[in-house]
């Protein structure tokens, strides 16, 4: 079985659907609020696990009810809870998510315990890594912790996938060091432009250019226009899978989880990106982040219904 290790954030998502996203100073009446486990790291770990990867998750929660809820949810997903650190006297991270009728969203994250996930909490990480492992990182935890994890992975011969989101503003100098420890960089359009520091809509050239920052490969996700990846052989575009989207909240995390699981399973980067595109599209057809993540059987059925895109 393929092996994925995720080091990242764990939140409780508080989501509400509204007719339209509020303008500054505007009050909009929404539906009933829904509380679900989330956080980019947690979502990506669950995504990889549902797609068949043997997955471990290193994260931090507070000693509050939200933390207990996240721990219970991870256990229910088959993710071992022993690497989930509880930070005394600290609140669990919370994401406030508003989704409009077109499926677009705004997200505000209060990091809570995620900001206190330090290298000390990663004492067991080196023993979980090896050449057959894909380590997945994001930026909802301290950058120093990501760098420490990436160094552990490099020492163990594991591959590193960095989803550089949310990208700090301004981009800190330590990001340059982290990128030199990355095998596959995954960014959206805005993140790609900020890392490059130059405006462009030539995404193929930009993906190639971002490799000069250190990562062996770069993937730029383009939403309803699919994705593009660049590696040593050049740039390749991947069309989007057509869906009727109702909530885009977990699409990026679904993409990253699927990509990591595919790479850990020995698939090529091109095939991993295609699986990511399918998983991301499928996630937009359901409400919520983790609740929308597809299983392996669901993803296979979805791709079988779109053979012209699955084997592009």
Hey, which residues are catalytic here? 253
| Total residue count of the chain as it appears in this document | 312
Rg, the chain, Cα only: 18
- Please report the beta strands in 72-197, taking only residues with DSSP state E, as ranges in sequence order: 84-87, 93-99, 105-110, 133-137, 159-163, 184-188
Contacts of 201 (CB under 8 A, 6+ apart): none
133/36 Cα distance (integer angstroms)? 28
Contacts of 65 (CB under 8 A, 6+ apart): none
Q: Which of 61, 275, 56 is nearest to 153 (CA)?
A: 56
Q: 145 and 118 in contact (C-beta within 8 Å)?
A: yes
Q: 129 and 158 in contact (C-beta within 8 Å)?
A: yes
């Amino acid at each position: 079985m393929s092996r994925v290790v995720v080091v990242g954030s764990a939140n409780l998502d508080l989501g509400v659907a509204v007719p339209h996203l509020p303008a500054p100073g505007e009050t909009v009446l929404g539906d009933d609020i829904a509380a679900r486990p989330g956080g980019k790291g947690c979502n990506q770990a669950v995504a990889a696990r549902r797609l068949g990867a043997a997955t471990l998750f290193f994260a931090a929660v507070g000693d509050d009810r939200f933390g207990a809820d996240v721990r219970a949810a991870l256990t229910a997903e088959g993710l071992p809870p022993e690497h989930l650190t509880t930070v005394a006297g600290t609140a669990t991270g919370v994401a406030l998510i508003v989704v409009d009728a077109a499926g677009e969203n705004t997200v505000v994250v209060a990091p809570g315990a995620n900001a206190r996930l330090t290298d000390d909490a990663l004492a067991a990480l080196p023993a979980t890594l090896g050449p057959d492992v894909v380590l997945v990182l994001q930026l909802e935890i301290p950058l120093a912790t990501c760098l420490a994890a990436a160094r552990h992975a490099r020492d163990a011969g594991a591959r590193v996938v960095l989803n550089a989101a949310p990208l700090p503003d301004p981009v800190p100098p330590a990001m340059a060091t982290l990128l030199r420890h990355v095998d596959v960089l995954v960014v959206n359009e805005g993140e790609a432009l900020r890392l490059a520091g130059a405006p462009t809509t030539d995404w193929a050239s930009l993906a190639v250019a971002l490799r000069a920052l250190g990562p062996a490969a770069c993937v730029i996700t383009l939403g309803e226009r699919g994705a593009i990846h660049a590696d040593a052989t050049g740039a390749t575009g991947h069309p989007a899978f057509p869906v009727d989207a109702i909530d885009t909240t977990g699409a990026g995390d679904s993409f990253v989880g699927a990509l990591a699981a595919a790479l850990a399973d020995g698939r090529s980067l091109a095939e991993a990106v295609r699986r990511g595109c399918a998983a991301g599209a499928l996630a937009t057809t359901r409400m919520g982040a983790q609740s929308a993540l597809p299983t392996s059987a669901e993803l296979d059925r979805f791709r079988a219904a779109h053979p012209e895109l699955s084997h592009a």
